[in-house]
Chains A and B, each alone.
Chain A
Amino acid sequence: MATMKFMCDAERCIECNGCVTACKNANEVEWGIQRRRVVTLNDGEPEEVSISVACMHCDDAPCIAVCPTETLFQRDDGIVLHDKDLCIGCGYCLYACPFGAPQFPQQNAFGERGKMDKCTFCAGGPAETKEEEYQKYGANRIAEGKLPLCAEMCSTKALLAGDAQEVADIFRQRVVQRGHKDGGWSGNPRADADSLAYDASQQG
């Protein structure tokens, strides 16, 4: 069984926010929620670097561990989904997640949280009908044999999605092509010691 993963190649991300827009559009995400975001470090400086972030569909997902209602669950292919019927809006997944993926609509009085929403790897979620699934979770592109739209639409192919092994192979190939031992994250003076990408270039 494949294990589905996202990977963003920060050497290629140009902060166009196309992934953010594609996600919004593909999933008709409700107002105030943005499942994917682009983070830029040192914006406007020579060492500026951008990376696209959403749910990383962790193997040992902290959100699943702390959820008191079993709203969150992991499919056999590693995709972490949520069941909106079970969510009570306690916010524990939000406390636990390292990437700020879970979000809550807070349109009620006193900011009371509604039902959690997060990236589904474009794999929908539990529902009776297709219409209900789309309305609650957005597109189920995986069921149609397609990858998440954010990665499919990425203009520089910085954002990769798919079977972890294939994503790793593509990235490894890139690092080898770049032709220097710190091709994963440039300019690393401790590349020999730090960089997994260096190992990849040695094996390539």
Chain B
Amino acid sequence: MSHTMQWRSLWRLGLLALMLALGLALSQGALAQQADPGREAAFAVPAVDADLWRQVKAGETGPNYRDSRAESTYNLVNASGETWRQIRERWISPFGAIAVLGMIAAIALFYLLVGRKKLDEPRTGRKLLRWSLVVRSLHWTVATLFILLALTGLNLAYGKTLLRPLFGDGAWAAMMSGTKLIHNYLGPLFGILLVILLLRLLSHNIPKAHDLQWFAKGGGLVGKGHPDAGFANGGEKVWYWLLATAGLAVIVSGFVLDFPNYGQARDTMQWANIIHAVGALGLTAVALGHIYIGTVGTEGSLEGMTTGYVDETWAKEHHNLWYEEVKESAVPEEQIAQAKGPSGSSPQGSS
């Protein structure tokens, strides 16, 4: 038994030796081929394969990634820039233009078809204080800044297409430098003042159950008569909360873009730019509606924000619940005119 085992293992050993010798001979041949002086070493840089380059493009680089540029935050290939470009060029630019121009067209059409919302009853001549001097000052400062920022922002987005052909190089350069200075320097001021204005008006804009009724009646467009409204009606509350959400997003993203000295990465600024553009173009479109309703669209609204006072009739028709609260404090027109006096200063009040 044990003899046969020994012979078998010897035979195996011999076979193994033969295979080893054969393998050595083959690999010798391969080495000789590699050493061909006419060719560079076949595997000078091993394992730099397509997968590695895909990783590089995806930004997945290992700890031993080096960049000879000081404080560089870049990858070798930064693919996110193309995503940002496509979102900006294919979606934001065209749809932003459609939103703003569409709103202008819609307002013009509404004005032609429905026309100005006049007061149903004649004015009583008795006035109610609606907006204090502080709120009016804040409103008009924020409004002026909003218009300046909207115009400069639109110029940054569409000026190259719309205005560039009209300008020579010199005038164009000066105009665009001015645009950027106005936008970047007044932006933070707008942000701070808007937040103060929003805080000041918060108590008037808490959503109430009757706001749903207001929306159901389309703010008075559907059916007869005015729906219930407190100091602020449903539409005004929507405008308030749009500013308090989208407006704040625009402000925060604007700060991210305006102060590139806090080490925020390029990807962060790409997203900030997208949020900023979408929010700002949307708000610009809605602001056009706000401007229309507050000026040409509704009789008796604008004087509230300019003089601070509105007529009793206007209050009764547009803000009936608020009117019920404050109707005792109505004062005749002549008294206000007298109180202003020859100096023209308007009385202080609280809203």
Residue of A nearest to B93 (CB): A66
Query: What is the chain B residue whose CB lies nearest that of A90?
Result: B180
Residue of A nearest to B77 (CB): A98
The answer, among A34, A48, A69, A189, for a CB contact under 8 Å with B176, is A69
A97 at interface, CB cutoff 8 A:
yes
Mask for A154-194, Cβ within 8 A of B = 1, else 0?
A: 00000000000000000000000111100101111110001
Residue contact A86 to B49, C-beta cutoff 8 Å: no
**A18 to B66 Cα, complex, angstroms:** 16
The answer, among A41, A46, A68, A86, for a CB contact under 8 Å with B65, is A41
Q: Which of B70, B169, B260, B261 has a CB less than 8 Å from the CB of A34?
A: B70
Contacts of A90 in B (CB 8 A): 156, 180
Q: A95 and B169: CB pair below 8 A?
A: no
Q: Do A100 and B169 contact each other (CB < 8 Å), given the known contacts A65-B85, A86-B176?
A: no
User: Does B64 make an interface contact (CB < 8 A)?
Assistant: yes
Are A179 and B39 also in contact (CB < 8 A) when A40-B66, A85-B173 are?
yes
Query: Please, how many residues of chain A have a CB less than 8 angstroms from a CB on the other chain?
Result: 60
Question: How many residues on B have C-beta within 8 angstroms of the other chain's C-beta atoms?
Answer: 61
Decide yes or no: A95 and B270 within 8 Å by CB, A69-B173, A185-B50 being known contacts.
Answer: yes
CB–CB A190/B69 < 8 A: no
- Within the complex, the shortest CB–CB distance from A112 to chain B, in Å, comes to 7
Measured between beta carbons, the chain B residues less than 8 angstroms from A110 are: 258-259, 261
Not counting A46-B46, A186-B42, a sample of 19 additional A-B residue pairs whose C-beta atoms are within 8 angstroms of each other reads A10-B45, A34-B70, A39-B65, A40-B67, A41-B48, A41-B64, A43-B66, A47-B47, A62-B81, A65-B89, A66-B85, A70-B172, A88-B180, A90-B180, A98-B81, A106-B261, A110-B258, A179-B36, A185-B45
- Identify 28 residue pairs between A and B in the complex whose beta-carbon atoms are under 8 Å apart, listed by A's number: A20-B68, A34-B69, A37-B68, A39-B66, A41-B52, A41-B64, A41-B65, A53-B76, A62-B81, A86-B172, A94-B266, A95-B81, A95-B269, A95-B273, A98-B78, A110-B259, A111-B262, A112-B260, A177-B39, A177-B40, A178-B42, A179-B40, A183-B40, A185-B49, A185-B50, A187-B49, A188-B48, A194-B50
Task: Enumerate the 7 nearest inter-chain pairs by beta-carbon distance, A residue then B residue, closest first.
Answer: A111-B261, A100-B74, A179-B39, A37-B69, A88-B180, A40-B66, A43-B64
